């Protein structure tokens, strides 16, 4: 990771959610506004598998004006999830190129944003908070008992987003790809479009990045291949990343892998 970008923290993942939700809308507006644009369309049956594992630690000390003392937070844990399509899903890829721009976006089925997936997750974590100063300041006092944790295994139905980035619009802050790449993000709640793992646990300590597939520049996929004639192809990614967030004291080590298989559907006659 490029020095100086770590303080961006979990804002990166939240920003990606906005990018995902805007991608189809922006693409549609571009197509409508550019009557002279060059456009292509291709239809596929798509199968997706994704998995990610992360281990995290947190160690930070801050001054609390309320108590007049220091508050130290120390924690550690791990998180993993996997998600897969139950059956091939119809996906349409659309390409548009005009003066000063080009874009590729994906439409699932008859207009959905996300590829539906079935998934499983495991979250385990512990966190302790030590403070000096007046404990009565924040209320609760010495008799406060924290709620029990609800860590463990979960299953879910959610969605993954197929994203496409040219080098000029790649939103990452580490390594910018030299060629266009396919991206995969999520898992999302199919209805609320938020990170679904956050809905599965109410009180289980977790890291800053492990509940969403991290962005990786390794999914090379050219426009020529996507809109070419090859009947079957796949984009496979395997990556590992280390993320530090100094402002909250998080250190997270992440391993991810995913595979998207494309089977081209015949063009309508």
What's 147's DSSP letter? Answer: P
Ordered per-residue pLDDT tens for the chain, 269 residues: 333 333 334 444 444 544 444 444 444 444 444 444 589 999 999 999 999 999 999 999 988 777 778 888 999 999 999 999 999 999 999 999 988 889 999 999 999 989 999 999 999 999 998 887 765 665 544 555 678 899 999 999 999 999 999 999 999 766 889 999 999 999 999 886 688 998 899 999 999 888 999 999 999 999 999 999 999 999 999 999 999 999 889 999 999 999 999 999 987 66
pLDDT of residue 195: 87
pLDDT of residue 117: 97
255: β partners: 53, 240
Tokens of 132: 């000096």
Q: How far apart are the C-alpha atoms of 73 and 127, rounded to whole Å?
A: 7
Q: Do you know the residue count of the chain?
A: 269
pLDDT of residue 4: 37
Q: What is the dihedral sign for C-alpha 159, 195, 150, 127?
A: positive
The helix/strand/coil state of 182 is strand
Number of alpha carbons in the 13 Å side-chain half-sphere of residue 142: 1
Give the distance from CA 197 to its chain's centroid.
11
Instruction: Kindly report the number of other CB atoms within 10 A of residue 225's CB atom.
Output: 14
- Sorted by where each begins, the domain ranges of the chain are 6-137+145-264
Helix (H) or strand (E) holding 116: strand 115-131
- Ramachandran sector of residue 17 (left: φ over 0; alpha: ψ -120 to 50; beta: rest): alpha
Q: How far apart are the C-alpha atoms of 248 and 62, rounded to whole Å?
A: 9
pLDDT of residue 69: 84
Nearest to 120 by CA among 77, 88, 153: 153
pTM: 0.81
pLDDT of residue 172: 75
């Amino acid at each position: 990771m490029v020095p100086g970008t770590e303080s961006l923290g979990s804002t990166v993942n939240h920003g990606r959610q906005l990018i995902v939700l805007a991608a189809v809308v922006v693409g549609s507006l571009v197509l409508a506004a550019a009557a002279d644009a060059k456009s292509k369309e291709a239809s596929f049956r798509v199968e997706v598998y994704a998995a990610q594992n992360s281990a995290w630690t947190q160690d930070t000390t801050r001054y609390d004006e309320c108590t007049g003392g220091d508050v130290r937070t120390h924690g550690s844990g791990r998180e993993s999830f996997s998600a897969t399509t139950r059956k091939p899903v119809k996906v349409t890829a659309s390409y548009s190129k005009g003066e000063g721009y080009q874009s590729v976006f994906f439409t699932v089925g008859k207009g959905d944003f996300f590829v539906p997936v079935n998934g499983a997750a495991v979250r385990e974590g512990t966190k302790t908070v030590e403070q000096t100063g007046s404990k009565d300041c924040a209320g609760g006092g010495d008799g406060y008992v924290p709620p029990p944790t609800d860590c463990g295994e979960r299953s879910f139905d959610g969605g993954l987003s197929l994203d496409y980035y040219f080098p000029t619009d790649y939103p990452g802050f580490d390594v910018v790809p030299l060629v266009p790449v396919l991206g995969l993000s999520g898992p999302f709640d199919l209805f609320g479009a938020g990170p679904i793992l956050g809905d599965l646990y109410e009180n289980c300590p977790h890291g800053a990045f492990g509940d969403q597939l991290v962005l990786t520049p390794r999914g090379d996929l050219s426009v020529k291949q996507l809109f070419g004639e090859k009947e079957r192809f796949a984009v496979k990614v395997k990556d590992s990343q280390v993320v530090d967030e100094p402002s909250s004291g998080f250190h997270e080590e992440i391993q991810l892998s995913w595979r998207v298989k494309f089977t081209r559907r015949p063009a309508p006659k």
